[in-house]
Amino acid sequence: MQTTKKRQPKKLPKILSREDVQRILAVPNVKCITGLRARVIMHLLYRAGLRVEEVCRLRPEDCFLVDSYIYVQQSKNKVDRVIPVDAETIGWIEKWLAVRYDGDYLFSSCKGKKLDQSYVRKILYQASERSGVYIQDNDIKKRVKPHCLRHCFATESLEDGANIMQVKELLGHKDVSTTQVYESVRPFLLRDFIQSREPLGV
């Protein structure tokens, strides 16, 4: 007797509104060094679309601020990529470089060691709780994870005019089909098409 395969659920990436992201980014106290570090880390997750491991492995030498890009080395699939960054992102990195802890990594701990990925997740969890911003996953309300900010980056890049191949390169995806899911997260173009249709008049 042939058994039927159980259909696996297909979920779209969970993202936040731009306003909710701002509420999360406003949580760290940037007047203290650990708060500034948290703020810059979250900014890079959101405005450069970095993965957690990529943030932790960044070195000061990977930040080419005069030329406005970050060099991500040997990330997922052992591929390098270059990510252009805007003036605001450069400004935050410069603030951190001026006071950062000594160490090989951009976001070294106070002892000069590379930050653990669990620490970055903790930063987001705390910001999620303190801002009251959560992700609704079916019946469950969940704290915001770092990867959610990467999802926001991809979705907003498409909304702001980047094409799918540009977003693929920015995210470092191997296949464009992985990137195409973001076209369905907030389908504003489809919404505008539907809303522009002529009324039936009946």
Q: Are strands 69-72 and 81-84 parallel, antiparallel or unpaired?
A: antiparallel
Is 173 among the catalytic positions?
Answer: yes
Check 76, 95, 142, 186 and give the catalytic one.
Answer: 76
Q: Is 151 a catalytic residue?
A: no
In the chain, what are the domain boundaries?
18-195
- What is the average pLDDT across 57-68? 96
Q: Which of 37, 39, 47, 51 is catalytic?
A: 51
Catalytic residue of the set 81, 150, 151, 168: 150
pLDDT digits (tens, 9 = 90+) for 45-55: 999 999 999 99
User: What token pair was written down for 125?
Assistant: 């969890």
**23 among known catalytic residues:** no
Instruction: Catalytic residue, from 37, 100, 145, 182: name it.
Output: 182
- For residue range 16-32, what is the model confidence (pLDDT) as tens digits? 999 999 999 999 999 99
Q: For the segment 92-128, what is each residue's pLDDT rounded down to a tens digit? A: 999 999 999 999 999 999 899 999 999 999 999 999 9
What number of residues does the chain have?
202
74-77 CB contacts, 8 Å cutoff, 24+ apart:
75/51, 75/172, 76/51, 76/172, 77/172, 77/174
Catalytic residue from among 47, 57, 145, 173: 173
Q: How confident is residue 1, by pLDDT bands cut at 50, 70 and 90? A: low
Strand-pair category, 140-143 with 134-137: antiparallel
Question: Is residue 150 flagged as an active site residue?
Answer: yes
- Judged by DSSP in three states, 71 sits in strand
Q: Is there a catalytic annotation at residue 69?
A: no
* Residues 134-148 pLDDT 10s: 999 989 999 999 999
pLDDT of residue 163: 94
pTM of the model: 0.90
pLDDT top residue among 194 and 33: 33
DSSP secondary structure letter of residue 75: -
Residue 10: pLDDT band by 50, 70, 90 thresholds? confident
Write out the DSSP string of the chain: -PPPPPPPP--PPP---HHHHHHHHT-S-TTSHHHHHHHHHHHHHHHS---HHHHHH--GGGEETTTTEEEE-S-GGG--EEEE--HHHHHHHHHHHHHPPSSSSTT--TTSPPPPHHHHHHHHHHHHHHHT-EEEETTEEEEPPHHHHHHHHHHHHHHTT--HHHHHHHHT-SSHHHHHGGGGTS-HHHHHHHHTSPP---
pLDDT of residue 194: 81
Task: Decide which of 2.60.120.1270, 3.10.100.10, 1.20.1260.10, 1.10.443.10 is the CATH code for 18-195.
Answer: 1.10.443.10
**Phi then psi for 69, rounded to 5 degrees?**
-150, 160
The predicted structure's pLDDT at residue 8: 65
pLDDT digits (tens, 9 = 90+) for 151-182: 999 999 999 999 999 999 999 999 999 999 99
Point out the catalytic residue in the list 59, 121, 142, 147: 147
Q: Is the pLDDT of residue 191 over 90?
A: no
